[in-house]
Amino acid sequence: MDNLETIDYVDQSKQLIIADAHVHIYDCFDLDKFLNAAANNFNNSALNKGYKDRFESILFLTETKFDNKFLELLECANNYKKNNSKNQWIIDKTKENYSLYASNSNNQKIFIIAGRQIVTAENLEVLALITAKTFEDGLPIKRVIQDVINSGGIPVIPWGFGKWIRSRGKILTNLLQEENLPILFLGDNSGRPHFWSTPPYFKQAEQRGLRILPGTDPLPFNSEFWRPGSFGFTLEGSLNPDEPANSIKKMLLDPTTKLQSYGSLETPFRFVRNQLAMQILKRQRRKI
């Protein structure tokens, strides 16, 4: 997973799909700047693979219980006047209740798919991709994974600084050793420092036939608006524009689908700076 900048050219007779599997749209982000950055990052990744036009882009939202940005975007799609008043990007609905379509005058386009980030009783995180449903925090991780599956979503356990060590690491190890594993992916993100070794759980998961879905996981700071689309995965396939979420779900659940990671892990300076900034933010939130 660490050799993320190695580029393999893919067959241009097939469509390239580029996705960021861990996205937050925070209130501190300007939506137009956010989507412009994502589109440019996706475009650069497509060009690196030899594509100029024939590709589709996907942002998988992973919203916490405090966030409802997907509903805000859905309101924009339902309100033509608000949607077209001053925004560079126009939001349109698809035939699904958990996906949207963003486009601009430069013919750039991005599919936005609803999803949630859940904190379990073990203080591990589970991402619920491809679902508009909400989930309760604080439940056991096995229950959360099953709830996500029952909702029609895809459960992902994402890497996080300090999340996969000691007792929580043992919980993850035991989970990955279970004989009858449910639908499950692990998640990597661009905040993981490149000078650390690859988490052994990635290899353990892959040995069990489970796959890794990379994403950016931007932090809640103004300066993080540029991240989405800069770190993720690509695959070949055909995306139905009316039902993009169902299309990508079928591909992800197909064991023959080949996923390729792209993007760069975090530098030492930015990693230390971000961790210090997050600690300050957490202290400020506790005082409120």
Q: Quick one: how many helices (H) and strands (E) in the chain?
A: 8, 12
Answer for the pair 149, 172: CB distance below 8 angstroms, yes or no. Answer: no
Nearest partner of 32 among 126, 128, 110, 98, judged by Cα = 110
DSSP state of 224: G
Residue % of the chain over a pLDDT of 70: 91
Residue 46 confidence (pLDDT): 94
Mean pLDDT of 207-233: 96
Evaluate if residue 194 carries a pLDDT over 50: yes
Going by pLDDT thresholds of 50, 70 and 90, the confidence category of residue 288 is low
Specify the DSSP class assigned to residue 223.
Answer: G
Distance from C-alpha of 117 to C-alpha of 90, rounded to nearest angstrom: 26
Tokens 């069990």 sit on residue:
208
Q: In this structure, what token pair is assigned to residue 255?
A: 């064991």
Q: Which residue has the higher pLDDT, 280 or 263?
A: 263
**Contact indicator for 130, 60 with CB cutoff of 8 Å:** yes
Query: If we measure between CA atoms, which residue out of 285, 245, 253 comes closest to residue 98?
Result: 245
- Rg for the chain, CA atoms, rounded: 18
Where do the structural domains in the chain lie, given as residue ranges? 16-287
Position 285 scores a pLDDT of 67
Taking only the tens place, the pLDDT of each residue in 266-281 is 988 888 888 888 888 7
CATH topology of domain 16-287: TIM Barrel (3.20.20)
- Amino acid present at 111: F
Sheet holding 55-61: strands in order across?
89-93, 99-104, 109-113, 55-61, 16-23, 232-236, 260-262
pTM exceeding 0.85: yes
Other C-beta atoms lying within 10 Å of the C-beta of residue 279:
10
Q: What is the pLDDT of residue 5?
A: 46
Model confidence at 11: pLDDT above 70: no
Mean pLDDT on 27-47: 96
